[in-house]
Structure 1
Amino acid sequence: MNARPNIVLVHGAWADGSCWSGVIERLQADGYHVTAPQFPLTSLADDVARLRHVLELQDGDTIVAGHSYGGQVITALGTDAPNATGLVYVAAFALDNGESLGALLSQGPTTPALVHLFTDKQGFAWLSEDDFVNHFASGVDPVQARVLYAVQQPLAGSTFTDVIDVPAWKSLPTWYAVAAEDQAIPPEAERQFAGRMGATTIEVASGHLPMISHPDEVAQLIRTAAEGVHRADD
Protein backbone atom coordinates (compact mmCIF):
# COMPACT_ATOMS: atom_id res chain seq x y z
CA MET A 1 0.00 0.00 0.00
CA ASN A 2 1.22 3.51 -0.81
CA ALA A 3 2.39 5.64 2.11
CA ARG A 4 0.27 8.50 0.77
CA PRO A 5 -3.21 8.48 -0.76
CA ASN A 6 -3.78 7.84 -4.43
CA ILE A 7 -5.46 10.56 -6.49
CA VAL A 8 -8.33 9.95 -8.93
CA LEU A 9 -9.44 12.90 -11.07
CA VAL A 10 -12.92 13.05 -12.61
CA HIS A 11 -13.51 15.29 -15.62
CA GLY A 12 -16.82 16.97 -16.29
CA ALA A 13 -19.07 17.45 -19.29
CA TRP A 14 -17.65 18.65 -22.61
CA ALA A 15 -14.19 17.57 -21.50
CA ASP A 16 -11.97 14.52 -21.06
CA GLY A 17 -9.26 13.35 -18.67
CA SER A 18 -6.57 15.42 -20.40
CA CYS A 19 -8.09 18.60 -18.95
CA TRP A 20 -6.28 17.65 -15.72
CA SER A 21 -2.83 17.47 -17.40
CA GLY A 22 -1.29 20.44 -15.58
CA VAL A 23 -2.50 19.17 -12.22
CA ILE A 24 -1.36 15.62 -13.00
CA GLU A 25 2.17 16.80 -13.79
CA ARG A 26 2.43 18.65 -10.49
CA LEU A 27 1.07 15.81 -8.37
CA GLN A 28 3.21 13.20 -10.10
CA ALA A 29 6.26 15.37 -9.45
CA ASP A 30 5.40 15.09 -5.75
CA GLY A 31 5.27 11.31 -5.96
CA TYR A 32 1.50 10.81 -6.00
CA HIS A 33 -0.08 7.98 -7.96
CA VAL A 34 -2.62 9.76 -10.17
CA THR A 35 -5.37 8.38 -12.40
CA ALA A 36 -7.54 10.53 -14.68
CA PRO A 37 -9.81 8.11 -16.55
CA GLN A 38 -12.14 8.85 -19.43
CA PHE A 39 -15.83 8.89 -18.56
CA PRO A 40 -18.46 7.98 -21.17
CA LEU A 41 -20.91 10.75 -20.18
CA THR A 42 -23.67 8.47 -21.47
CA SER A 43 -25.56 8.51 -18.15
CA LEU A 44 -24.86 9.30 -14.53
CA ALA A 45 -25.10 5.58 -13.72
CA ASP A 46 -22.52 4.74 -16.39
CA ASP A 47 -20.14 7.40 -15.12
CA VAL A 48 -20.48 6.30 -11.49
CA ALA A 49 -19.88 2.70 -12.55
CA ARG A 50 -16.67 3.74 -14.33
CA LEU A 51 -15.51 5.66 -11.26
CA ARG A 52 -16.24 2.73 -8.93
CA HIS A 53 -14.27 0.44 -11.26
CA VAL A 54 -11.28 2.80 -11.15
CA LEU A 55 -11.51 3.16 -7.37
CA GLU A 56 -11.55 -0.61 -6.93
CA LEU A 57 -8.22 -0.74 -8.78
CA GLN A 58 -6.51 1.62 -6.32
CA ASP A 59 -4.21 0.05 -3.74
CA GLY A 60 -5.41 2.02 -0.73
CA ASP A 61 -6.77 5.35 0.44
CA THR A 62 -7.78 7.59 -2.44
CA ILE A 63 -8.65 11.26 -2.80
CA VAL A 64 -11.30 11.73 -5.50
CA ALA A 65 -11.49 15.12 -7.21
CA GLY A 66 -14.28 16.15 -9.57
CA HIS A 67 -14.70 19.14 -11.86
CA SER A 68 -18.10 20.56 -12.82
CA TYR A 69 -20.42 17.62 -13.68
CA GLY A 70 -17.64 15.43 -12.27
CA GLY A 71 -18.79 16.71 -8.88
CA GLN A 72 -22.16 15.12 -9.58
CA VAL A 73 -20.37 11.83 -10.32
CA ILE A 74 -18.29 11.79 -7.14
CA THR A 75 -21.32 12.84 -5.08
CA ALA A 76 -23.37 9.95 -6.49
CA LEU A 77 -20.84 7.42 -5.17
CA GLY A 78 -22.93 7.35 -2.01
CA THR A 79 -21.68 6.02 1.29
CA ASP A 80 -19.81 2.91 0.15
CA ALA A 81 -17.26 4.17 -2.37
CA PRO A 82 -14.34 1.72 -2.50
CA ASN A 83 -11.06 3.19 -1.18
CA ALA A 84 -12.37 6.79 -1.24
CA THR A 85 -11.30 8.76 1.82
CA GLY A 86 -11.81 12.38 0.74
CA LEU A 87 -13.55 14.43 -1.94
CA VAL A 88 -12.27 17.55 -3.71
CA TYR A 89 -14.70 19.67 -5.69
CA VAL A 90 -13.25 21.99 -8.35
CA ALA A 91 -15.87 24.46 -9.62
CA ALA A 92 -18.20 21.50 -9.28
CA PHE A 93 -21.77 20.53 -8.50
CA ALA A 94 -22.24 19.12 -4.99
CA LEU A 95 -25.91 18.25 -4.87
CA ASP A 96 -27.87 16.93 -1.92
CA ASN A 97 -30.48 14.20 -1.58
CA GLY A 98 -33.39 14.73 -4.00
CA GLU A 99 -31.65 17.44 -6.06
CA SER A 100 -30.92 17.37 -9.80
CA LEU A 101 -28.75 19.44 -12.13
CA GLY A 102 -31.71 20.62 -14.19
CA ALA A 103 -33.69 21.81 -11.19
CA LEU A 104 -30.69 23.65 -9.81
CA LEU A 105 -29.81 25.34 -13.11
CA SER A 106 -33.43 26.44 -13.60
CA GLN A 107 -33.39 28.49 -10.39
CA GLY A 108 -31.63 31.43 -11.99
CA PRO A 109 -30.82 32.96 -15.37
CA THR A 110 -28.92 30.77 -17.81
CA THR A 111 -25.18 31.27 -17.40
CA PRO A 112 -23.22 32.58 -20.42
CA ALA A 113 -21.55 29.23 -21.08
CA LEU A 114 -24.91 27.47 -21.46
CA VAL A 115 -26.96 30.04 -23.39
CA HIS A 116 -26.77 28.16 -26.69
CA LEU A 117 -26.64 24.63 -25.30
CA PHE A 118 -28.27 22.30 -27.82
CA THR A 119 -29.34 18.67 -27.81
CA ASP A 120 -28.82 16.34 -30.78
CA LYS A 121 -31.15 13.61 -32.06
CA GLN A 122 -29.52 11.06 -29.77
CA GLY A 123 -30.29 13.15 -26.70
CA PHE A 124 -26.76 14.44 -26.06
CA ALA A 125 -26.07 18.06 -25.12
CA TRP A 126 -23.31 20.13 -26.80
CA LEU A 127 -21.91 23.64 -26.38
CA SER A 128 -21.58 26.09 -29.27
CA GLU A 129 -18.09 27.20 -30.22
CA ASP A 130 -18.59 30.80 -29.09
CA ASP A 131 -20.01 29.82 -25.71
CA PHE A 132 -17.30 27.22 -25.17
CA VAL A 133 -14.30 29.33 -26.14
CA ASN A 134 -15.39 32.65 -24.65
CA HIS A 135 -17.35 31.57 -21.59
CA PHE A 136 -16.91 27.89 -20.67
CA ALA A 137 -13.13 28.23 -21.17
CA SER A 138 -12.84 31.88 -20.15
CA GLY A 139 -9.36 32.69 -18.90
CA VAL A 140 -7.77 29.92 -20.98
CA ASP A 141 -5.53 30.83 -23.92
CA PRO A 142 -7.90 31.11 -26.92
CA VAL A 143 -5.80 28.74 -29.04
CA GLN A 144 -5.98 26.10 -26.32
CA ALA A 145 -9.67 26.83 -25.76
CA ARG A 146 -10.43 26.09 -29.41
CA VAL A 147 -8.56 22.78 -29.12
CA LEU A 148 -10.63 21.93 -26.05
CA TYR A 149 -13.77 22.79 -28.00
CA ALA A 150 -12.71 20.48 -30.83
CA VAL A 151 -12.37 17.49 -28.49
CA GLN A 152 -15.43 18.14 -26.31
CA GLN A 153 -17.48 15.11 -25.31
CA PRO A 154 -21.26 15.66 -25.24
CA LEU A 155 -23.27 14.96 -22.11
CA ALA A 156 -26.36 12.75 -22.02
CA GLY A 157 -29.45 14.87 -21.48
CA SER A 158 -30.69 12.38 -18.88
CA THR A 159 -28.04 13.60 -16.43
CA PHE A 160 -29.97 16.85 -15.98
CA THR A 161 -32.92 15.00 -14.46
CA ASP A 162 -31.06 12.32 -12.48
CA VAL A 163 -31.72 12.80 -8.77
CA ILE A 164 -29.06 12.31 -6.12
CA ASP A 165 -29.71 9.76 -3.39
CA VAL A 166 -27.49 9.94 -0.26
CA PRO A 167 -24.50 12.11 -1.27
CA ALA A 168 -20.98 10.84 -0.64
CA TRP A 169 -20.00 14.15 0.96
CA LYS A 170 -22.15 13.37 3.98
CA SER A 171 -19.74 10.62 5.01
CA LEU A 172 -16.37 11.86 3.70
CA PRO A 173 -14.28 15.01 4.35
CA THR A 174 -14.49 17.60 1.58
CA TRP A 175 -12.48 20.39 -0.01
CA TYR A 176 -13.74 22.93 -2.54
CA ALA A 177 -12.14 25.30 -5.06
CA VAL A 178 -14.55 28.10 -5.94
CA ALA A 179 -13.91 29.63 -9.37
CA ALA A 180 -14.69 33.26 -8.60
CA GLU A 181 -15.08 34.24 -12.28
CA ASP A 182 -17.00 31.14 -13.39
CA GLN A 183 -19.39 31.68 -16.31
CA ALA A 184 -20.83 28.14 -16.29
CA ILE A 185 -21.75 27.59 -12.63
CA PRO A 186 -22.56 30.75 -10.65
CA PRO A 187 -19.75 31.33 -8.14
CA GLU A 188 -22.33 32.01 -5.43
CA ALA A 189 -23.80 28.55 -6.02
CA GLU A 190 -20.31 27.09 -5.61
CA ARG A 191 -19.93 28.91 -2.32
CA GLN A 192 -23.26 27.53 -1.18
CA PHE A 193 -22.23 23.99 -2.11
CA ALA A 194 -19.01 24.36 -0.16
CA GLY A 195 -20.73 25.94 2.82
CA ARG A 196 -23.36 23.30 3.36
CA MET A 197 -20.77 20.52 3.04
CA GLY A 198 -18.53 22.22 5.55
CA ALA A 199 -15.75 21.96 2.99
CA THR A 200 -12.29 23.41 3.42
CA THR A 201 -12.58 26.11 0.75
CA ILE A 202 -10.32 28.25 -1.40
CA GLU A 203 -11.27 30.83 -4.02
CA VAL A 204 -9.39 31.06 -7.30
CA ALA A 205 -9.57 34.09 -9.62
CA SER A 206 -10.51 31.79 -12.46
CA GLY A 207 -13.18 30.97 -14.99
CA HIS A 208 -14.80 27.54 -15.12
CA LEU A 209 -11.57 25.63 -15.85
CA PRO A 210 -9.21 26.42 -12.94
CA MET A 211 -7.38 23.10 -13.32
CA ILE A 212 -6.20 24.43 -16.69
CA SER A 213 -5.79 28.15 -16.00
CA HIS A 214 -4.62 27.81 -12.36
CA PRO A 215 -3.13 24.31 -11.99
CA ASP A 216 -0.84 25.33 -9.10
CA GLU A 217 -3.74 26.32 -6.86
CA VAL A 218 -5.82 23.27 -7.75
CA ALA A 219 -2.90 20.87 -7.27
CA GLN A 220 -2.15 22.46 -3.90
CA LEU A 221 -5.75 22.00 -2.73
CA ILE A 222 -5.59 18.31 -3.70
CA ARG A 223 -2.27 17.98 -1.85
CA THR A 224 -3.88 19.58 1.21
CA ALA A 225 -6.69 17.04 1.04
CA ALA A 226 -4.27 14.15 0.65
CA GLU A 227 -2.12 15.35 3.53
CA GLY A 228 -5.18 15.85 5.71
CA VAL A 229 -6.45 12.34 5.10
CA HIS A 230 -2.95 10.89 5.55
CA ARG A 231 -2.53 12.64 8.93
CA ALA A 232 -5.95 11.40 10.03
CA ASP A 233 -4.83 7.84 9.33
CA ASP A 234 -1.61 8.18 11.37
Structure 2
Amino acid sequence: MDTLPNIVLVHGAWADGSSWSEVIPRLQADGYRVTAPQFPLTSLAADVARLRQVLEAQDGPTVVAGHSYGGQIITALGTDAPNAVALVYVAAFALDEGESLGALLAQGPTPAALEHLITDKQGQVWLPEGDFVERFAAGVDPARARVLHAVQQPIAGSSFADVLGAPAWKSLPSWYLVAERDQAIPPQAEQLFASRMGATTVSVPAGHLAMLSHPAETTDLIKAAAGSVGGQLPA
Protein backbone atom coordinates (compact mmCIF):
# COMPACT_ATOMS: atom_id res chain seq x y z
CA MET A 1 0.00 0.00 0.00
CA ASP A 2 1.27 3.49 -0.82
CA THR A 3 2.47 5.66 2.03
CA LEU A 4 1.40 9.28 2.20
CA PRO A 5 3.40 11.81 0.17
CA ASN A 6 5.29 14.56 1.95
CA ILE A 7 3.91 18.10 1.98
CA VAL A 8 6.04 21.22 1.52
CA LEU A 9 4.31 24.57 2.12
CA VAL A 10 5.73 27.72 0.53
CA HIS A 11 4.88 31.11 2.00
CA GLY A 12 4.55 34.30 0.01
CA ALA A 13 5.73 37.90 0.33
CA TRP A 14 5.22 39.79 3.59
CA ALA A 15 4.89 36.46 5.40
CA ASP A 16 6.83 33.51 6.74
CA GLY A 17 6.22 29.80 7.29
CA SER A 18 3.89 30.51 10.20
CA SER A 19 1.30 31.71 7.69
CA TRP A 20 0.50 28.00 7.30
CA SER A 21 -0.05 27.55 11.06
CA GLU A 22 -3.73 26.59 10.69
CA VAL A 23 -3.05 24.06 7.93
CA ILE A 24 0.03 22.33 9.34
CA PRO A 25 -1.64 20.68 12.39
CA ARG A 26 -4.56 19.50 10.26
CA LEU A 27 -2.21 17.76 7.84
CA GLN A 28 -0.07 16.36 10.64
CA ALA A 29 -3.16 14.97 12.37
CA ASP A 30 -3.85 12.95 9.21
CA GLY A 31 -0.33 11.51 9.18
CA TYR A 32 1.41 13.79 6.67
CA ARG A 33 5.03 14.83 7.07
CA VAL A 34 4.93 18.61 6.64
CA THR A 35 7.70 21.13 6.07
CA ALA A 36 7.07 24.89 5.96
CA PRO A 37 10.48 26.50 5.45
CA GLN A 38 11.43 30.16 5.57
CA PHE A 39 12.31 31.85 2.27
CA PRO A 40 14.70 34.82 2.00
CA LEU A 41 12.55 36.78 -0.48
CA THR A 42 15.75 38.45 -1.70
CA SER A 43 15.36 37.22 -5.29
CA LEU A 44 13.38 34.62 -7.16
CA ALA A 45 16.59 32.66 -7.80
CA ALA A 46 17.40 32.57 -4.08
CA ASP A 47 13.88 31.48 -3.19
CA VAL A 48 13.89 28.70 -5.78
CA ALA A 49 17.30 27.55 -4.55
CA ARG A 50 15.92 27.29 -1.00
CA LEU A 51 12.92 25.31 -2.22
CA ARG A 52 15.12 22.92 -4.20
CA GLN A 53 17.24 22.40 -1.08
CA VAL A 54 14.13 21.50 0.91
CA LEU A 55 12.75 19.22 -1.81
CA GLU A 56 16.02 17.36 -2.19
CA ALA A 57 15.88 16.60 1.54
CA GLN A 58 12.44 14.98 1.27
CA ASP A 59 12.27 11.20 1.53
CA GLY A 60 9.98 10.38 -1.36
CA PRO A 61 7.26 12.07 -3.41
CA THR A 62 6.19 15.51 -2.30
CA VAL A 63 3.19 17.75 -2.87
CA VAL A 64 4.28 21.40 -3.02
CA ALA A 65 1.78 24.10 -2.09
CA GLY A 66 2.40 27.82 -2.56
CA HIS A 67 0.51 30.90 -1.42
CA SER A 68 0.63 34.25 -3.25
CA TYR A 69 4.26 34.90 -4.33
CA GLY A 70 4.91 31.34 -3.16
CA GLY A 71 3.13 30.33 -6.36
CA GLN A 72 5.83 32.15 -8.30
CA ILE A 73 8.48 30.17 -6.41
CA ILE A 74 6.93 26.76 -7.06
CA THR A 75 6.23 27.63 -10.69
CA ALA A 76 9.87 28.66 -11.21
CA LEU A 77 11.03 25.18 -10.18
CA GLY A 78 10.73 24.38 -13.89
CA THR A 79 10.47 20.89 -15.31
CA ASP A 80 12.95 19.09 -13.04
CA ALA A 81 11.74 19.74 -9.50
CA PRO A 82 13.29 17.09 -7.21
CA ASN A 83 10.73 14.76 -5.60
CA ALA A 84 7.79 17.04 -6.55
CA VAL A 85 4.75 15.18 -7.87
CA ALA A 86 1.96 17.78 -7.61
CA LEU A 87 1.49 21.52 -7.18
CA VAL A 88 -1.19 23.31 -5.15
CA TYR A 89 -1.78 27.03 -5.60
CA VAL A 90 -3.59 28.90 -2.82
CA ALA A 91 -4.60 32.39 -3.99
CA ALA A 92 -1.26 32.35 -5.78
CA PHE A 93 0.50 33.63 -8.86
CA ALA A 94 0.88 31.00 -11.59
CA LEU A 95 2.65 32.74 -14.44
CA ASP A 96 3.67 31.32 -17.80
CA GLU A 97 7.03 31.41 -19.55
CA GLY A 98 8.18 34.93 -20.38
CA GLU A 99 5.86 36.63 -17.86
CA SER A 100 6.81 38.68 -14.80
CA LEU A 101 4.89 39.83 -11.75
CA GLY A 102 5.51 43.48 -12.52
CA ALA A 103 4.23 43.23 -16.09
CA LEU A 104 1.18 41.30 -14.94
CA LEU A 105 0.28 43.78 -12.21
CA ALA A 106 0.76 46.68 -14.63
CA GLN A 107 -2.02 45.35 -16.88
CA GLY A 108 -4.84 46.57 -14.65
CA PRO A 109 -5.66 48.73 -11.64
CA THR A 110 -3.40 48.18 -8.66
CA PRO A 111 -5.06 45.72 -6.25
CA ALA A 112 -6.35 47.48 -3.14
CA ALA A 113 -3.95 45.67 -0.80
CA LEU A 114 -0.94 46.81 -2.85
CA GLU A 115 -1.81 50.48 -3.41
CA HIS A 116 0.58 51.91 -0.81
CA LEU A 117 3.67 49.71 -0.93
CA ILE A 118 6.73 51.11 0.85
CA THR A 119 10.17 50.61 -0.72
CA ASP A 120 13.11 51.21 1.63
CA LYS A 121 16.65 52.35 0.80
CA GLN A 122 17.75 48.74 0.29
CA GLY A 123 15.06 48.14 -2.33
CA GLN A 124 12.97 45.99 0.00
CA VAL A 125 9.19 46.34 -0.31
CA TRP A 126 6.90 46.43 2.73
CA LEU A 127 3.15 46.61 3.34
CA PRO A 128 1.85 49.37 5.64
CA GLU A 129 -0.22 48.27 8.62
CA GLY A 130 -3.56 49.63 7.45
CA ASP A 131 -3.48 47.92 4.08
CA PHE A 132 -2.09 44.75 5.61
CA VAL A 133 -4.75 44.38 8.30
CA GLU A 134 -7.77 45.65 6.38
CA ARG A 135 -7.06 44.32 2.89
CA PHE A 136 -4.18 41.84 2.68
CA ALA A 137 -5.43 39.97 5.75
CA ALA A 138 -9.15 40.65 5.26
CA GLY A 139 -11.16 37.89 6.91
CA VAL A 140 -8.50 37.23 9.56
CA ASP A 141 -9.09 38.40 13.14
CA PRO A 142 -7.69 41.96 13.24
CA ALA A 143 -5.62 41.30 16.37
CA ARG A 144 -3.97 38.35 14.66
CA ALA A 145 -3.56 40.35 11.45
CA ARG A 146 -1.63 43.01 13.36
CA VAL A 147 0.73 40.34 14.66
CA LEU A 148 1.21 39.05 11.12
CA HIS A 149 2.02 42.60 10.02
CA ALA A 150 4.56 42.95 12.82
CA VAL A 151 6.47 39.85 11.67
CA GLN A 152 6.18 40.45 7.92
CA GLN A 153 9.20 39.74 5.73
CA PRO A 154 9.76 42.29 2.97
CA ILE A 155 10.32 41.19 -0.61
CA ALA A 156 13.04 42.52 -2.89
CA GLY A 157 11.56 44.94 -5.40
CA SER A 158 13.68 43.30 -8.09
CA SER A 159 11.58 40.14 -7.74
CA PHE A 160 8.75 41.86 -9.58
CA ALA A 161 10.94 42.11 -12.69
CA ASP A 162 12.12 38.48 -12.72
CA VAL A 163 10.93 36.77 -15.91
CA LEU A 164 9.71 33.22 -15.59
CA GLY A 165 11.24 30.33 -17.50
CA ALA A 166 9.47 27.04 -18.26
CA PRO A 167 6.73 26.72 -15.60
CA ALA A 168 6.55 23.64 -13.40
CA TRP A 169 2.79 23.38 -13.90
CA LYS A 170 3.33 22.30 -17.49
CA SER A 171 4.88 19.04 -16.30
CA LEU A 172 3.11 18.43 -12.97
CA PRO A 173 -0.60 18.09 -12.11
CA SER A 174 -1.96 21.19 -10.42
CA TRP A 175 -4.71 22.26 -8.01
CA TYR A 176 -5.89 25.81 -7.36
CA LEU A 177 -7.84 27.52 -4.59
CA VAL A 178 -9.47 30.75 -5.82
CA ALA A 179 -10.07 33.31 -3.06
CA GLU A 180 -13.24 35.05 -4.18
CA ARG A 181 -12.68 38.14 -1.97
CA ASP A 182 -8.96 38.54 -2.60
CA GLN A 183 -7.74 42.15 -2.55
CA ALA A 184 -4.09 41.36 -3.39
CA ILE A 185 -4.55 39.21 -6.51
CA PRO A 186 -7.77 39.83 -8.46
CA PRO A 187 -10.00 36.74 -8.25
CA GLN A 188 -10.48 36.96 -12.03
CA ALA A 189 -6.72 36.59 -12.46
CA GLU A 190 -6.74 33.57 -10.16
CA GLN A 191 -9.48 31.99 -12.27
CA LEU A 192 -7.39 32.66 -15.38
CA PHE A 193 -4.30 31.08 -13.84
CA ALA A 194 -6.26 27.99 -12.84
CA SER A 195 -7.98 27.69 -16.20
CA ARG A 196 -4.90 27.87 -18.37
CA MET A 197 -3.10 25.38 -16.13
CA GLY A 198 -6.00 22.99 -16.36
CA ALA A 199 -5.91 22.89 -12.58
CA THR A 200 -8.47 21.15 -10.41
CA THR A 201 -10.10 24.24 -8.91
CA VAL A 202 -12.16 25.17 -5.87
CA SER A 203 -13.47 28.63 -4.97
CA VAL A 204 -13.96 29.85 -1.42
CA PRO A 205 -15.41 33.14 -0.09
CA ALA A 206 -12.05 34.14 1.35
CA GLY A 207 -9.65 37.05 1.32
CA HIS A 208 -6.01 36.73 0.31
CA LEU A 209 -4.90 34.76 3.39
CA ALA A 210 -7.27 31.89 2.66
CA MET A 211 -5.10 29.33 4.45
CA LEU A 212 -5.68 31.26 7.68
CA SER A 213 -9.32 32.28 7.25
CA HIS A 214 -10.40 29.02 5.55
CA PRO A 215 -7.88 26.40 6.70
CA ALA A 216 -10.24 23.44 6.37
CA GLU A 217 -10.91 24.08 2.68
CA THR A 218 -7.21 24.74 2.05
CA THR A 219 -6.23 21.52 3.80
CA ASP A 220 -8.84 19.53 1.91
CA LEU A 221 -7.45 20.73 -1.43
CA ILE A 222 -3.90 19.80 -0.46
CA LYS A 223 -5.13 16.39 0.67
CA ALA A 224 -7.01 15.94 -2.60
CA ALA A 225 -3.77 16.54 -4.50
CA ALA A 226 -1.91 14.17 -2.19
CA GLY A 227 -4.57 11.50 -2.59
CA SER A 228 -4.38 11.65 -6.35
CA VAL A 229 -0.61 11.11 -6.55
CA GLY A 230 -0.08 8.65 -3.70
CA GLY A 231 3.14 7.98 -1.88
CA GLN A 232 5.35 6.47 -4.57
CA LEU A 233 7.52 8.29 -7.09
CA PRO A 234 6.74 7.47 -10.73
CA ALA A 235 8.88 4.71 -12.18
Shorter-chain TM-score: which interval? over 0.9
Which residue in 2 is equivalent to 1:225? 225
**CA–CA distance in structure 1, aligned partners of residues 232 and 54 of structure 2:** 23
Which residue in 1 is equivalent to 2:66? 66
SS in 1 for 2:20: helix
The offset of 1:233, in angstroms, is 6.6
Matched to 1:132, the amino acid is F
Name the CA shift for 1:73/1:11 in 2 (closer, same or farther; >3 Å): same
The offset of 1:170, in angstroms, is 0.2
Q: Once the two structures are superposed, what CA deviation does each residue of 1:122-179 show, in whole Å capped at 9, x if it has no partner?
A: 0010011110000000000000000000000000011100000000000000000000
Which residue in 1 is equivalent to 2:102? 102
Which residue in 2 is equivalent to 1:92? 92
Give runs of aligned pairs for residues 77-226 of structure 1, distance below 5 A. 77-226=77-226
Matched to 1:19, the amino acid is S
Matched to 1:218, the amino acid is T
**CA–CA distance in structure 2, aligned partners of residues 46 and 81 of structure 1:** 15
Contact residue 60 and residue 232 of structure 2 kept, 8 A: no
**CA–CA distance in structure 1, aligned partners of residues 231 and 41 of structure 2:** 34
Which residue in 2 is equivalent to 1:52? 52
Matched to 1:105, the amino acid is L
| Segments of 4+ moved more than 6 angstroms | 231-234
Q: Paired residues, what number?
A: 233
Unaligned 5+ runs, structure 1: none
Q: What TM-score, normalized by structure 2, do the two folds share? A: 0.97
**CA–CA distance in structure 2, aligned partners of residues 232 and 104 of structure 1:** 37
The offset of 1:231, in angstroms, is 8.2
Q: What percent identity do the matched residue pairs reach?
A: 73
